[in-house]
Amino acid sequence: MVIDRDYRIIQANNTLLKRHGKRRSEVIGRYCYDISHGMAEICRSPRHECPIRLVWETGKPARTTHAHVYEVEGVQRKRYLDIIASPIKDQQDNVIAVCELMRDVTEAKELEMKIAEAHRNLSAMNTIANVVSQSLDLDTILSSALNKTLEIMKANRGGILLWDEEKQLLRYRVYHGLSAEHVQKVGYRSGEGIIGKVAKTGKALLLEDMSTGSHAAYPNLIAAEGLRGFACTPLKSKGKILGVLYIASHEARKFSSDDMLLLNSIAWQIATAVENAKLHQEVQHKEKIRGELLQDIFSIQEEERRRIARELHDETSQILASLTANLEAASEMLPAGENKPKAMLKKAQTLSIKVLDEMNRLVYELRPTLLDDLGLVAAIKWLLDNHLRLAGITVNLKIAGRQRRLPPRLETTLFRVVQEAFSNITRHASAKNADVTLHFKKSDIKVHVKDDGKGFDVEEAISSKDRPRGLGLLGMKERVELMKGTLSIRSRPSFGTEIDVKIPLNQEEVPNG
């Protein structure tokens, strides 16, 4: 349409007439705000900024978008009009009228809003996913998820309640905007109140104002907390209801179905995170028990070895020693010339000495008294002589740092690890040389064992299932990790093998093992 200085319509095209269902004569001469909006005065911001006034003031075209609210069969709808107002000028460049072009952009606008909404939901989901994947600690996950949810949904109160299997109650795990007394007081049985109902049915519930009606299980407490607009959704994972998430506002509020969809997706993510955190907790708990059991086994094993070693040493070797002495005496008692029986007795005597030697070695392997009496370095020196050097391997031993006694359990661990490493070198490596270093530092002790043997594929050796004997390498690792240390093995076929162990020393004194 074309409009004059008094906002009266001078001209209108057919589309405009059709849109308003009027004849030309009913439109010409009428005020534009009357025809367009049925209003008695000119359009004002914010919804209806008048572009025409601007054109008269500036002499330049102006553009705006009007939102028109109207009703179709009792339902309010909005239409958006893009309006361009341009001046019509005379030859002296004076504005004499304004031409207003209107275009219906409702669909584009609605699409734009849908995209914005989808974007909001996606970025909310993304935020929640980020928040819940930051940690495996249940309380950390839940409180940051709740805070983010409240922020996204623009609500100021809320809570996450989890099902307590033992008490058969839903209890608060995290909350926001509620008093601590409230949180401590309330607990919901399945089906009790709105929260219990959501947990029982697994279906979300919305209330525009929960302070009216008799929905709540604790109406007075709820009123005291000022909970009104309310949206509650179950936390479900793998068909099991773990708890509920709710958000609330201190004034009546109608949460939309879009809000609900978003809340449900958030709840789904939280439930998955809760499930993961619980599994993680369980694994950690089992891991702790496994460590304790393993420690017990190692302690019992050491104790048993110590006992057997003592018995062998104190009793059996005494008997063998006196057997050797008796054989000697018997041989001397034989009359001269009894050469044959003498030779037999001599042979028996040699054998019993050999058995005695062998047994002493066994006693040492089992549990060298050296380790208890003189400590790690002495015991390792003994191992060097009796394993590696005996097998013809040249050994270079280096002790660095301030050599000293360490807690007994730590000495035992290191001794067993080195014992296994040496036994592997003699049994598997075909090495010529070996380097052994013990480094006593202030805060940790390091052991390095290196051979120039044939090497092996570490991955394969450790993961190999069909192993008749060998918990050797794995056992080493387990023992070191129980002491909060690290063990690394570097080896490649035909390149030799290197083992590094590092165990921290500043741990609390540990029981004897």
52 forms part of the interface with ligand ADP (CB under 6 A): no
CB atoms within 10 A of CB 239: 6
Name the minimum Å distance from CB 486 to ligand ADP.
18
> Three-state SS for 252?
coil
Q: Is 350 left (phi over 0), alpha (psi -120 to 50) or beta?
A: alpha
Which lies closer to ligand ADP via its Cβ, residue 221 or residue 461? 461
Residues in the chain: 513
Query: Could you say whether residue 294 binds ligand ADP (CB under 6 A)?
Result: no
Distances (CA, A) of 362 to 151, 312, 352, 386: 71, 9, 15, 11
Closest separation in Å from C-beta 451 to Mg ion: 13
> In this structure, are residues 449 and 421 in contact, taking their beta carbons and an 8 Å threshold?
yes
Which C-beta is closer to ligand ADP: that of 50 or that of 384?
384
CB of 423 to Mg ion, least distance (A): 6
- The type of residue at 330 is A
Task: Kindly tell me which of 327 and 429 has the beta carbon lying closer to Mg ion.
Answer: 429
Q: At what angle do helices 106-133 and 138-153 cross, to 10 degrees?
A: 160
The region of 164-172, 398-406, 419-427, 492-500 touching Mg ion under the rule CB under 5 A is: 419-427
Token code pair at residue 156 = 């100021």
Amino acid symbol at 405: R
Near ligand ADP in 8-27, by CB under 6 A: none
Identity of the residue numbered 444: D
Using the minimum distance from each CB to ligand ADP, give the nearer residue, 189 or 454: 454
Of 262 and 393, nearer to Mg ion (C-beta) is 393
By CB atoms closer than 10 A (0-12, 13-18, 19+), residue 481 is middle
Q: Which stretch binds ligand ADP (CB under 6 A): 51-59, 136-144, 273-281, 447-455?
A: 447-455
Minimum separation from the CB atom of position 459 to ligand ADP (A): 11
* Cis peptide bond N-terminal to 46, omega within 30: yes
Indicate which of Mg ion, ligand ADP, none lies near residue 193 (CB less than 5 to 8 Å, by partner kind).
none
Residue 417 CB, shortest distance to ligand ADP, in Å, is 11
Q: Taking the complex as a whole, how short is the minimal distance between the CB of residue 330 and ligand ADP, in angstroms?
A: 43
What string marks each residue from 246 to 265 as x (binds ligand ADP by CB under 6 A) or -? --------------------
Residues in the interface with ligand ADP (CB under 6 A) total 16
Q: Which is nearer to ligand ADP, 276 or 423 (CB)?
A: 423
Q: How far apart are CA 348 and CA 29, in angstroms?
A: 140
Pick the piece of the chain touching ligand ADP (CB under 6 A) from 126-134, 216-224, 308-316, 419-427.
419-427
* Residue 461 binding partner per list ligand ADP, Mg ion, none, with a CB distance cut-off of 5 to 8 Å that depends on partner kind: ligand ADP
Residue 428 sits in the site that holds ligand ADP (CB under 6 A): yes
Alpha helices in 312-407 (DSSP H): 317-333, 339-366, 369-373, 376-383
Q: Decide if 388 contacts 424 (C-beta within 8 A).
A: no
d(CA 408, CA 303): 12
Residue span 466-505 as binding mask against ligand ADP, x where in contact by CB under 6 A, dash where not:
---xx-xx-----------------------x--------
Q: Which of residues 444-503 bind Mg ion (CB under 5 A)?
A: 472
Nearer to Mg ion, 177 or 475 (CB): 475
CB of 464 to Mg ion, least distance (A): 12
Residue from 172, 178, 456, 479 touching ligand ADP (CB under 6 A): that is 456
Joined together, the tokens standing for residue 433 give 């040389």
H or E element that contains 411:
helix 408-424
Our CB check for ligand ADP shows the closer of 354 and 389 to be: 389
Q: Considering beta carbons, is residue 234 or 472 the nearer one to Mg ion?
A: 472
Closest by CA to 210, choosing from 250, 174, 178, is: 250
Among positions 345-384, residues that touch ligand ADP (CB under 6 A) are none
424 binding ligand ADP? (CB under 6 A): yes
Q: Quick one: how far is CA 233 from the chain centroid?
A: 24
CA distances (Å), origin 346, targets 43, 328, 356: 129, 8, 15
Query: Residue 144's closest CA among 117, 173, 118, 106?
Result: 173
451 binds ligand ADP (CB under 6 A): yes
Tokens of 167: 């008490």
Q: Which has the closest alpha carbon to 154: 269, 255, 50, 238?
A: 255
The dihedral over CA atoms of 402, 404, 409, 415, expressed in degrees to the nearest 10, equals 80
CB of 450 to Mg ion, least distance (A): 16
Locate 464 and state its tokens. 């190999």
Which one of residues 269, 419, 424, 426 is an interface residue with Mg ion (CB under 5 A)?
Answer: 424
Nearest C-alpha neighbor of 273 from the set 165, 150, 131, 164? 131
The least CB distance from residue 319 to Mg ion, in Å, is 32
Q: Closest CB to ligand ADP among 225 and 451?
A: 451
Residue in 105, 461, 505, 510 binding ligand ADP, rule: CB under 6 A: 461
By beta carbon distance, the residue nearest ligand ADP is: 472
User: Do 232 and 160 contact (CB within 8 A), yes or no?
Assistant: no
**Which of ligand ADP, Mg ion, none does residue 478 bind (CB under 5 to 8 Å by kind)?**
none
Residues 504, 489: Cα–Cα separation, whole Å: 18
Residues that bind ligand ADP (CB under 6 A): 424-425, 427-429, 451, 453-456, 461, 469-470, 472-473, 497
Residues that bind Mg ion (CB under 5 A): 424, 472
